[in-house]
Amino acid sequence: MRNLVYTYTLITILFSASTLADNKTVKVIESNEVEWGHLNPLRGELSPGAANLWGNRAEDSATGMLVRFNNGFQSPPHIHNISYRGIVIEGQLHNDDPKAEKMWLPTGSFWTQPAGQNHITAANSETNLIYLEIDSGPYLVKPSSEKFDNGEHPINLHIDNLVWMEHKQLGFIDAEGVRTAFVWGEPSKLSGSMLKIPSGFKGAIKTEASEFRSVIITGVVNYSDGEQNKTTLNAGSYIESSGLNTHVIENKSNKEAIIYLRTDGPYRVY
């Protein structure tokens, strides 16, 4: 009887979005659909490529973007007018003080760069791709001579040092094998976390957050918004929603997938 009740509840959740169409807002961008430009237009072809997933990095706006680097890229020392967060999607990245020894961060690693702090960024693989996020804009590159201390401290977090919690430790995950790691903010407020989705998983993420943004960091997942819209999302793909929504996720591959979530409200994984 208990299993029957649970099954009925899950079915209700999966179809609740279609009965509340007026509150449903979903946007999906596949990785091959993004429109690329230059991260620093003043450097032209010497600049890393950049593509906004949400927001607009050239305006006073929170923004999430993809940034890609050529193999062997190393920026000159510089600062930014605003702080940012970075997550490695592919390749190896280094971001630190110009005099620091290289510490290469692989796929799934996370770092923060405080505004005003002098630093360099370098890449060390044939293909190098990151997700970069700012809470306000515009995103500008400025010379080291304008450096300042905004009181923040940088973080360089190798994926091996992320603290993953299992479903038994968390009240909002009811799915065997799914794990999460919090990387910034407070879970009850605007915050960022990583979801590790095991091979063979089929379930859903339910959210009522006014801001729910997710980026596939590694792996391949089949995605549906709970209705008839289905697609396959590779690393670098993006899902956004607002209001009551159910995101159906299936990992048919033989490798785990990692999804980054930025949300201002709770979510549940079934």
Spatial separation of the C-alpha atoms in residues 180 and 161, rounded to whole Å: 13
Report how far residue 29's alpha carbon sits from residue 261's, in angstroms, rounded to the nearest whole number: 15
Question: pLDDT digits over 111-126, tens only?
Answer: 999 999 999 999 999 9
pLDDT at 228: 62
What confidence category does residue 25 fall into, taking pLDDT thresholds of 50, 70 and 90? confident
In the predicted structure, residue 14 carries a pLDDT above the cut 80:
no
Domains of the chain: 2-31+162-269 (2.60.120.10), 34-160 (2.60.120.10)
Over pLDDT 70: what percentage of the chain?
90
| d(C-alpha 227, C-alpha 20), whole Å | 12
CA angle 73, 77, 78 (to 5 degrees): 110
Instruction: Report percent pLDDT > 90 for the chain.
Output: 78
Peptide bond into 48 cis (omega under 30): no
DSSP symbol at 230: E
pLDDT band at 166 (very low <50, low <70, confident <90, very high): confident
Q: Provide the mean pLDDT of the chain.
A: 89
Least confident among 41-55, 151-165, 202-216? 41-55
pLDDT in tens, 36-60: 998 887 777 778 999 999 999 999 9
Higher pLDDT, 136 or 176: 136
State the CB neighbour count (10 A cutoff) for residue 192.
19
**With bands split at pLDDT 50, 70 and 90, how would you rate the model's confidence at 8?**
very low
Contact 121, 88 (CB under 8 A): no
Q: Say which residue, 127 or 229, is predicted with more confidence.
A: 127
Rounded to whole angstroms, the Cα distance separating 201 from 193 reads: 19
The per-residue pLDDT for 10 is 36
Taking residues 200-223, report their average pLDDT: 96
18-27, 92-101, 169-178: least confidently modelled range: 18-27
Tell me the mean pLDDT in the region 133-148: 96
Task: Give the confidence band of 251 by pLDDT, cuts at 50, 70, 90.
Answer: very high
**pLDDT above 60: residue 132:** yes
Per-residue pLDDT, averaged over 56-83, amounts to 96
The answer to whether the pTM exceeds 0.95 is no
Would you say residue 6 has pLDDT above 70? no
